[in-house]
Amino acid sequence: MMKLYYAPGACSIGTHFLMEEMGLDYETVRLDLKQGDQLKPGYTEVNAKNKVPSLIRDDGSLLTEFVAIAFWLGKAHPEKGMMPEGLEGEVRALEWLDYAVATIHMQGFTRMLRPAKFTPTEAEHDWVREQGRAIVDKAFGIVSARLGDAPFIMGERLSIADAGLFYVLFWGIDRLKIDVPENLAAYYARLRARPAAQKVFEDERIVFA
């Protein structure tokens, strides 16, 4: 059985959501990042990168990095319908998945939530946060324009790309209370209401104010 290593509310919540949405057989291992579980020998022996998500596949091999895991899950289980058809569909899904992770998460939210990673000078932290917020706001505007009136980012069907947007919208809307375009708020509300998302929130013991 596959094993997903995750931290509650971290980007791994998107992987958790994807696996639950696909109805896969898996077990989870919970890490507390605030307690430094990712740096302890029990986990560094699993993933020397000291980050989540990590996925131990059925053959015992380790797969890391959000985009790679999502792509593999989609390709390894085509019957679940989470990977758009054809080369063009696949690369477009990867395009939005990578944008969520590499730009919205790493460039935007990391500046907002971890400004010390960008400058050691505390007096500059607010400036770094402002830069991160500008990146996130611009990106959410771009996603909103692409989404339009469609139910999902790739159109009529849920895909691996929605899993990446799910977690950055969770951070933005539920965690940081950021105002987003109306269609984007409605999109996230649809994702959040899905049984898979509700189970993941329950499993990760995420409580909403």
Digits of tens for pLDDT over the chain (209 positions)? 999 999 999 999 999 999 999 999 999 999 999 999 999 999 999 999 999 999 999 999 999 999 999 999 999 999 999 999 999 999 999 999 999 999 999 999 999 999 999 999 999 999 999 999 999 999 999 999 999 999 999 999 999 999 999 999 999 999 999 999 999 999 999 999 999 999 999 999 998 87
Mark residue 6 as left, alpha or beta (left: phi above 0; alpha: psi -120 to 50; beta: remaining): beta
Residue 50 sits in a domain whose CATH number is 3.40.30.10
Q: Is residue 200 part of a domain?
A: no
Q: Which helix (H) or strand (E) covers residue 4, if one does?
A: strand 2-6
pLDDT digits over 133-167, tens only? 999 999 999 999 999 999 999 999 999 999 999 99
Q: How many domains does the chain have?
A: 2
- Shared domain for 91 and 190, answered yes or no, is yes
Instruction: Please state the pTM of the whole predicted model.
Output: 0.96
- The tokens 């940081």 sit on which residue? 176
Q: Which amino acid is at 189?
A: A
Single residue among 47, 80, 113 that ends a domain in this structure: 80
Q: Is residue 202 part of a domain?
A: no
Residue 117 sits in a domain whose CATH number is 1.20.1050.10
Single residue among 26, 58, 80 that ends a domain in this structure: 80
Which tokens sit at 73?
Answer: 């899950």
- Shared domain for 48 and 94, answered yes or no, is no
Structural domain including 58 reads 2-80
Q: Is residue 153 part of a domain?
A: yes
Which tokens sit at 26?
Answer: 């898996």
